[in-house]
Amino acid sequence: MNNTSLTRHIWYHYPYVVPADVLSAEPTHEDDPSSLREEASCGSLCYLKLICSFHDGTYLARVAVSPEALRSHGYTVVVNDAQLAKAYPWHSLLVKSA
């Protein structure tokens, strides 16, 4: 895999904030009308932590409604470079709000 600027600035196992629209709004199951976007986001944001790269422009990640929930109540998903391009470090959100 080429080492693009995207892969150079993303750290694994570090929380990022992404827009909730990177998650599917489709129902998770025919008997369950909830969606991943509904379950793993709050407002228009969700939190993401990369686990590993598949070296083809996709990554295994955890998403959750809060940084704390990434450990215990998150969901495992596959994200791509386009979705990851929307991510920014969680700490930058804290700095902006201070």
Element spanning 44, H or E:
none
**Does residue 95 carry a pLDDT above 70?**
no
pLDDT tens profile 3-28: 444 444 678 999 999 999 999 999 97
Domain ranges for the chain, please list them: 5-97
With a CB cutoff of 8 Å and minimum separation 6, the contacts of 52 are 12, 59, 60
**Does residue 55 carry a pLDDT above 60?**
yes
Q: What is the percent of the chain where pLDDT is above 90?
A: 67
**Does residue 97 carry a pLDDT above 70?**
no
Cβ proximity of 58 and 74 under 8 Å? no
pLDDT tens profile 22-36: 999 999 788 888 899
Count of residues in the chain: 98
In whole angstroms, how far apart are CA 2 and each of 56, 79, 91? 9, 17, 27
Helix (H) and strand (E) counts in the chain: 5, 7
Q: Which pLDDT score, from 0 to 100, does residue 93 have?
A: 54
Cα–Cα distance for residue pair 57/84, rounded to 1 Å: 10
Residue 82 pLDDT level (bands cut at 50, 70, 90)? very high
Element spanning 32, H or E:
strand 32-35
Q: Which pLDDT score, from 0 to 100, does residue 2 have?
A: 45
